[in-house]
Chains A and B, each alone.
Chain A
Amino acid sequence: MADVKKHDTPMCDELKSGPWPSFVDDIEQKGLQGKQACLDLLGQLELSYVHKETHWKHGGIVGVFGYGGGVIGRYSDAPEQFPAVAHFHTIRVNQPASKFYNSAFLRKLCDMWDHRGSGMTNLHGSTGDMVLLGTTTDQLEPVFYDLTHQMSVDLGGSGSNLRTPSCCVGRARCEWSCLDTQAICYDLTQTYQDELHRPAFPYKFKFKVSGCPNDCVAAIARSCCSIIGTWKDDIRIDQEAVKAYIGGELKPNAGAHSDRDWGAFDIQKEVIDLCPTKCMWMEGDELKIDNRECTRCMHCINVMPEALRPGTDTGATILVGAKAPILEGAQMSTLAIPFIRMEPPFDEFKEFVDKIWDWWMEEGKNRERFGELIQRQSLQEFIRRAELKPIPQMVKEPRSNPYVFWSEDEVEGGWKRDIKAFRARHAA
């Protein structure tokens, strides 16, 4: 055993048993091989289990020269007991789009992090970054130099910056993707490096890219600008495969329900009746779809992947304004652009981004998310500032109150009126 001090951690130790991978075992093993920070981290966690309160201090602004994000300061409030985690800063490293790696890259990153940090990571943070957990202030610049010079990788976003964009697996491995998600993610990340590293926004801003409406990166729930793949033409149908599903030769939903007997596949009950717009029917043994009525929910395609595929005239639906509850309550993204082509260099999309950022940077209050600005100033104002055309697809239903903010130029004759002329018609 290396020369390290293991703390007494009876409660943490209880999390070594059970089948799910034990983070406690992983961290302890690493500690016993010579990383005191790992053992101190477990010691401090044990103290939190006793007190039922965190032992990390609030804040601490640290960073690398010229960047206003990517590093989050963290200090223990029990540094005498746990000196190896007294400073325990986080470094966000910008992940490659959709998180494919090779071992050469990761091994070198591990060598760097063992040398300069605790050896602890999150793969990955919620935003998508590779998160290196735990180093001291004096190591921050050397880590940054190592990352840029020896790994050719940059930091991710934090604070009131553009946050690191992320995307689903896309066309790399999914037959449903209507977008080159990695290309979009990479290009946006490179285009907006300045916004990502140097805080100039009222608050954080997030892009997320999903290739289809299944939305595997949860773009609609957690990005200020959600880019979600869709198609304009007809769902592609292989009628032979439809018959194979009906005949039981193919497993519905690609085998997703294999451990329970749900009975024989019933296309009427499992597909046609569940279609939200009821735009499908059988004619003899052929499946028919009224594509004009389809809202592309993906259910039929998910159930019969061998038989149905999205169309080939593809692009993105853009929705805006999602966020978690703090402060004005949770929001999902609202439909802004029903369809836009997404091919490099994505100029049309970037013009839209410029317009909405101009509005937000001009009008947004300190720590006001983009979705909250839309709430405060209205969807109409968003539509005006983004120079979009209002369409019924933007709302679930028309308003039920009559309080319309007409502007003067919309009303015949304007608002300047002659009270004398009015009184000439109507005695007071």
Chain B
Amino acid sequence: MDLKEIREKLQEDWGDLPSFDISEVVSKPYDPKLGEELYDPKKPMANRITDIGPPYFEQFFPEVIKKNYGKWKSHEIMEPGIIKYTSETGDVVYVVRCGSPRLITTDTIREICDIADKYCDGYMRWTTRNNIEFHVETEDQLRALLDDLKGRKFPGGSYKFPVGGTGASVTNIVHTQGWVHCHTPATDASGVVKAVMDDLFEYFGSHKLPAQVRIALACCLNMCGAVHCSDIAILGVHRKPPFVEDDRITGVCEIPLAVAACPLGAIKPATVEIDGKKIKTVRVNEKRCMFCGNCYTMCPAMPLADMDGDGIAILVGGKISNRVSAPKFSKLVIPYIPNEPPRWPSTVKVIRKILETYASDANKYERLGEWAERIGWERFFEKCDIPFTDKSIDDYRLAYDTYHTTTQFKWSVHTDNL
């Protein structure tokens, strides 16, 4: 189907929605008073528009994308960050991919719009990994755009729009909110990402690695960033059991929900006496706690955060793509690194060590997890110089699936003294 057929078919069902053409609405300047004029707290349904969904995608496609929808034939990464797509119609489009910290201000968005207006007829796109993509149709426009991007820097000297993130590179780190905006984190997100990407910057703008390396950060086990299938995962972890605020708990949470929140049954109802009054609360079997934080999610009177307890775990070898081998989970190789704001030097150092060991040892096309499986995990720990601890042995659900039940293993530093 071409775009016209798709739109006609969808409009059979959704044609009365405003989303198919928002150009007239958007062309009017923003009216800062309209919200208060239309919304009446005494009549909350008055003037209320609901369930209109997102704007229809096609109106945000650049012309060359509209014209060649479904007709793309091949692509070529001309240099890191620049992809040339060729259509069956003979049309080409050059895409310039730029890194972004994801946490950006409206002023930066306006600057992106300025660039899009100048070179791309006002269109731009974001990728799933928070990169910004600009589309141009000629090599001259491409070179002018690249020159322009290179010159845009923040006052402190960092690039506003570094070009890269294609092919066998380290592309942008998907990440969560951390201390900037979340109530459950065990580490920061934006600060750690900035520190790691500063250190690995050469790999963002080059194609030197055996394959792409996807790094992701989640600031607690909730994993809003879904780091569980990443080549290198940076995960915020707690290591101290929750407090129980007896004098507050009944007012802020339902005790049965707090009890049910624990996947290990470590939370039990309890009664305590405060100022002669019996109060319903909970007690935690601390030896059973695995520090998942689910109790705090359900009950604000059970905080876990702690400056000495919290830090970072490193998991490696996950992947999403079905290419060659099936998608894989990331595996925990370093259980804890302390939080070291503002630049997290220990975390940065160990990630570089893992990345460079992989880069020098893996075969072409081999993802980090495929490499670790080929050489064996004993060899992975040996080569990366990471101490193996019992924390890397699974003792949760389905743990048995990870045990080694064969006499086939490799001699490594772990067995050399036997």
Contact = CB atoms under 8 A, between A and B. Distances in A.
Contacts of B184: 54, 58
B195 A298 contact: no
Nearest to A31: B105
Given A58-B296, A173-B85, A305-B75, A154 B54 contact: yes
B241 to A, nearest CB: 16
B183 A74 contact: yes
B272 interface: no
A20 B221 contact: no
Size class of the A contact interface (CB-based, 8 Å): 35 or more
B13 A19 contact: no
Contact of A121 (B106, B195, B261): B106
A95 interface: yes
Given A123-B109, A148-B49, A255-B77, A19 B198 contact: yes
B322 A123 contact: no
Contacts of A240: none
Contact of B50 (A16, A66, A185, A218): A66
A112 interface: yes
Given A21-B160, A148-B52, A220-B320, A103 B122 contact: yes
B136 to A, nearest CB: 13
A175 B161 CA distance: 27
B108 A26 contact: yes
Contacts of A258: 77, 79-80, 167, 207
B357 to A, nearest CB: 16
A248 B339 CA distance: 49
Interface stretch (A164-172, A387-395, A405-413): A164-172
Contacts of B90: none
Interface centre among B1, B32, B95 (most CB of A within 10 A): B32
A325 interface: yes
A18 B158 contact: yes
Nearest to A223: B226
Interface in B270-291: none
A305 B130 CA distance: 25
A58 B103 CA distance: 21
A26 B324 contact: no
Interface centre among B181, B225, B296 (most CB of A within 10 A): B181
B151 interface: no
B207 A65 contact: no
Interface in A129-176: 133-134, 141-143, 145-146, 148-154, 164, 166, 168-169, 171-175
Nearest to A307: B74
Interface string B103-141: 111111110111011000011111110100000000000
Nearest to B72: A175
Interface stretch (B37-45, B385-393, B405-413): B37-45
A13 B157 CA distance: 12
Contacts, number: 491
B122 to A, nearest CB: 4
B342 A49 contact: yes
A386 to B, nearest CB: 22
SS of B interface (majority): loop
B85 A29 contact: no
Contact of A94 (B25, B53, B225, B321): B53
B156 interface: yes
Contacts of B176: 126
Contacts of B41: 141
Given A22-B194, A58-B300, A145 B39 contact: yes
Contact of A254 (B76, B310, B364): B76
Given A20-B101, A148-B49, A173-B95, A100 B226 contact: no
A256 to B, nearest CB: 3
Given A96-B60, A154-B51, A197-B51, A11 B128 contact: no
Interface centre among B70, B128, B182 (most CB of A within 10 A): B128
Contact of A17 (B9, B156, B225, B307): B156
Contact of B397 (A169, A297, A329, A332): A329
A408 B304 CA distance: 50
Interface centre among A180, A345, A366 (most CB of B within 10 A): A180
A299 B35 contact: no
B60 to A, nearest CB: 4
Interface residues of B, number: 161
Given A49-B191, A74-B183, A303-B365, A100 B55 contact: no
A191 to B, nearest CB: 8
Interface in A281-310: 296-299, 302-303, 305-306, 309
A273 to B, nearest CB: 11
B198 A41 contact: no
Interface string B305-336: 11100100000000011111101010000000
Interface centre among B18, B22, B27, B227 (most CB of A within 10 A): B22
A78 interface: no
Nearest to A73: B183
B31 to A, nearest CB: 7
Contacts of B221: 324-326
A193 interface: yes
B250 interface: no
A119 B123 CA distance: 21
B300 A16 contact: no
B70 A171 contact: yes
B128 A166 contact: yes
A43 B100 CA distance: 22
Given A120-B105, A255-B78, A172 B181 contact: no
B341 interface: yes
A94 B17 CA distance: 15
Nearest to A27: B105
B100 A123 contact: yes
Given A121-B106, A123-B130, A190-B53, A151 B125 contact: no
6 closest pairs, A vs B, by CB? A16-B156, A256-B167, A142-B35, A18-B198, A324-B223, A103-B113
Given A108-B26, A123-B100, 18 more contacts: A18-B158, A19-B162, A21-B160, A53-B306, A53-B310, A65-B44, A102-B124, A106-B112, A107-B110, A116-B35, A120-B105, A126-B226, A145-B39, A187-B10, A214-B322, A254-B76, A260-B168, A332-B329
29 contacts: A11-B341, A15-B343, A18-B195, A20-B201, A23-B194, A25-B155, A25-B156, A53-B179, A59-B300, A94-B53, A103-B113, A115-B32, A116-B35, A123-B126, A142-B39, A152-B26, A185-B57, A186-B10, A215-B321, A254-B76, A254-B167, A258-B80, A260-B207, A274-B324, A297-B323, A324-B223, A327-B292, A344-B13, A345-B13
Interface of A: 11-27, 29-30, 33, 38, 41, 45, 48-49, 51-59, 65-67, 74, 88, 90, 94-116, 119-126, 128, 133-134, 141-143, 145-146, 148-154, 164, 166, 168-169, 171-175, 180, 182-183, 185-187, 189-190, 193-194, 197, 213-218, 220-222, 251, 253-260, 262, 270, 274, 276, 296-299, 302-303, 305-306, 309, 324-330, 332, 343-345, 366-367
